Amino acid sequence: MVTSAHEGSHRIFQERPEILTPVFGVLGIALPEKATVDAITTDVTETRPLERRVDTLLRVGPSDGDPFLLAIEAQGKRDADKASSWSYYVAHLQAKYDLPVLLLVVCQDRATAKWAAGPFDCEARGWTTQRTCPLVIGPDNLPVITDRRTAAENPAMATFSALTHARSPDIDAILEALGRALQSMDEKSAEYYNEFLDVNLGRTPAGDKWREILSFVTYFPGRGTVRETAYLEGKAEGKAEGQAEGQAEGRVEDRAALILRVLEKRGIDVPEPARELIGSCTDLDTLTLWFDRALTAASSEDLFVEESGAGDGSV
């Protein structure tokens, strides 16, 4: 099942490819700092009755060697069907692009990570025809980043650490460090990481903790304080309230844009009435619900099932 956490576990590699180098370092595979990374189509469907899609597919061009494809899969639990589908991805992509293929599986729990490492064999009568050996990132080998300086120096890796360790006892310390690190970033970057975790942690204990932390963080350069301190000192009450309102409006606009982007990327037609309904919604919880539905919806109407049933949201 496609969920926000599933999407975040692989989509960050598309949007922040700088995370590849430290992740490959964790796996013991050399990848130079200077490498081109291009997202390519994730569709590996060959015939209409059988549709297969890799979560994320990147073409990596290292500065010190030949290019290769990196197929990234987010895996939330054991799935017996993956033994054959992952083997298919690797074989098909190698044949289609004439490039070697690495398969990276991202997991959030140790049991799934252990299973995902394989190997997965295609064999008969004692002979192995093909063996698939995924690279696996999970709680056991991805670093726990609880230091503010480290998080500020590598925010993409710190964000990925939070996503992968979302079920870990260390998650509160990870989120606290990242929240403090955002104070030293430019506003655009800080908002990206804030929104990314807000969406992908979703309605989980980790997501609630992240929203609690960010409700107090202020991004005024050089301040490094929390909003309640400003209130206690009697400083900038109006400014803080205005900023909070502005941030809330910005998050609503960004969430609406993300919904439309997901539908567009999935090839779902969005008629003008649906666009207006999404764009005019100001309730963040409703937009979050629509975003989750957009990941699996067969049509734009599927986003508004409850509203349509009530007779007040039909498009």
Domain boundaries defined on the chain: 4-137, 143-235, 256-315
At 249 the pLDDT is 64
For residues 216 and 226, is the Cβ–Cβ distance under 8 A?
yes
Q: Coil, strand or helix: which one is 120?
A: strand
For residues 35 and 19, is the Cβ–Cβ distance under 8 A?
no
d(CA 143, CA 160): 10
- Looking from the CA of 142 toward its CB, the CA atoms found within 13 Å total 32
Q: Which residues pair with 59 in a beta bridge?
A: 38, 69
d(CA 39, CA 42): 9
- Which residues, other chains included, contact 297 with Cβ-Cβ below 8 Å and sequence gap of 6+? 263, 268, 303
At 243 the pLDDT is 54
At 12 the pLDDT is 63
Whole-model pTM: value is 0.54
At 33 the pLDDT is 63
What DSSP string runs through 36-102?
Answer: EEEE---B---BTTB--B-SEEEEEEETTS--EEEEEEEESS--TTHHHHHHHHHHHHHHHH-S-EE
Residue 162: closest CA among 116, 134, 194, 184: 194
At 159 the pLDDT is 85
Backbone angles phi, psi at 217, to 5 degrees: -80, 135
**CATH code that applies to domain 4-137:** 3.40.1350
d(CA 103, CA 194): 28
Binned average pLDDT, 10 residues per bin, the chain of 315 residues: 51 63 74 64 48 74 83 86 89 92 87 92 88 89 88 86 86 90 81 80 85 63 40 45 56 82 85 88 86 86 67 46
Backbone angles phi, psi at 140, to 5 degrees: -75, -30
d(CA 236, CA 116): 52
At 222 the pLDDT is 41
At 311 the pLDDT is 42
